Amino acid sequence: MFFPDVAAMRSREWKDKTAYTYGLHGTPTSYTLEERLCALEGGQQCLLVPSGLAALGLVALSLLKSGDEVLIPDNAYGPNKAIAEGELKNWGITHQYYDPMDPEDLEAQISSRTKLVWLEAAGSVTLEFPDLVEMVRICQRRKVLTALDNTWGAGLAFPPFDLTPGSAPALGVDISAHALTKYPSGGGDVLMGSVITRDASLHLKLKLTHMRFGMGVGMNDVEMILRSLPSIFLRYQAHDRTTRALASWAQAQPEFVQVLHPALENSPGHVHWKSLCQQDGQDRGAAGLFSVVLDARFSQAQTDAFCDALKLFRLGYSWGGPISLVVPYELETMRKAWPKHLKSGTVVRFSVGLEALQDLQADVQQALCVLR
């Protein structure tokens, strides 16, 4: 950006979008993406950061100080827990993990030190769907800020800032953090995140930290997200449709003692997913992830062999792209205790891409032969 004179340089304000001053603070290209993401999720202000994890880190860096405490659901995205156990702990910020399926446990852990509560719907790996509405009500009543990892919902499955449409005032989270790497990108080839708010003063706190740490993004990456964003609804529907069909089929396979997917009636939190994501006769979706619990009689080595035998499902982290992925997990190392709503066994998570349903089903079928 070049300025015509010193007076113009001094008159520009980097905190708003009336003009731009330096690429790190945004350009007309990034402003466009921010505005479209706000329209998608129902927010008013948006910040772009280099990854979804950076979005989680920005929230913590901006809002917590020594002596504060953050509450995190026990089924949260692992790296968010690692931030709490690493950097935040080193800075004198404590954390507690609450039962995501028990709002009473959340409320019991809120104290005068609690300054932030993380929410996640659906939960990472095991895909429990919490009573998000009740948890937000509890936090509002206790005057604690809420931040939602909204990557799964993507602004499509439910409106994070208006969880009970038609109510006044609107009931919603304070912050929506989103890994744009997933559904907004759609190609599995761009890393980016966003932090969206409705409160101007809260946004300013986040924006100042964003500036101080130089959490800018490349405009070429922004262009790639802008290119993909118009098709997000169609892609989300396609992922959802295939995933539901595959998860329903998986329920009939004897090697899987439990199938975890919010739209399945016997999956933990199904009733909460239904009340939030199926309103006015409209099914808004359930993303492209499902997990299975392999019978406890199968060893970890057998589970690994099953995953190795898959051909279309590639071994890899992340999700939301065109290629289907699979990851086996050692859940015992990730949770305080084995969740009481999960059967004994080994958890394997599938991310369903855009391949044909019959091909993906045949792939799982042939891999099951390793166990049979």
| 265-314 tens-digit pLDDT | 999 999 999 999 998 888 999 999 999 999 999 999 999 999 999 999 99
d(CA 89, CA 282): 43
290 and 242 fall within a common domain: yes
- Final residue of a structural domain among 205, 230, 255: 230
Indicate if 98 and 16 belong to the same structural domain.
Answer: yes
Going 122 to 194 to 133 to 100, the CA torsion angle's sign is positive
Residues 38 and 178 in one domain: yes
Note whether residue 1 is domain-resident: no
Residue 318 and residue 235 share a domain? yes
**27 pairs with which residues across the strands?**
none
- Of the chain, the end-to-end C-alpha distance in Å amounts to 64
191 near 181, Cβ under 8 Å?
yes
Residues 153 and 269 in one domain: no
Q: Which domain holds residue 24?
A: 6-230
CA 296 to chain centre: 29
pLDDT of residue 213: 94
Half-sphere exposure of 363 (CA within 13 A, CB side): 20
Same domain as 241, residue 190: no
User: Residues 298, 214: one domain?
Assistant: no
- Are 240 and 226 in a shared domain? no
pLDDT tens track for 59-95: 999 999 999 999 999 999 999 999 999 999 999 999 9
Q: Which of 211, 230, 249 is the last residue of a domain?
A: 230
Same domain as 159, residue 285: no
263 lies in the same domain as 364 = yes
pLDDT (0 to 100) of residue 271: 97
CA distances from 30 to 6, 24, 192 (A): 25, 10, 12
pLDDT, residue 13, reads 75
Neighbours of 198 (CB within 10 A): 21
Count up the domains in the chain and report the number: 2
- pTM (2 d.p.): 0.93
Backbone torsions φ then ψ of 246, nearest 5 degrees: -70, -40
pLDDT of residue 206: 98
Element (H, E) at 72: strand 69-73
Instruction: Judge if 235 and 347 occupy the same domain.
Output: yes
> How confident is the model at residue 197, as a pLDDT?
98
What's the pLDDT at 11? 78
Residues 244 and 153 occupy one common structural domain = no
Residues sharing a CB contact under 8 Å with residue 255, sequence separation 6 or more, in sequence order = 294, 295, 298, 368, 371, 372
Going by C-beta distance under 8 Å and a sequence separation of 6 or more, which residues neighbour residue 365?
Answer: none
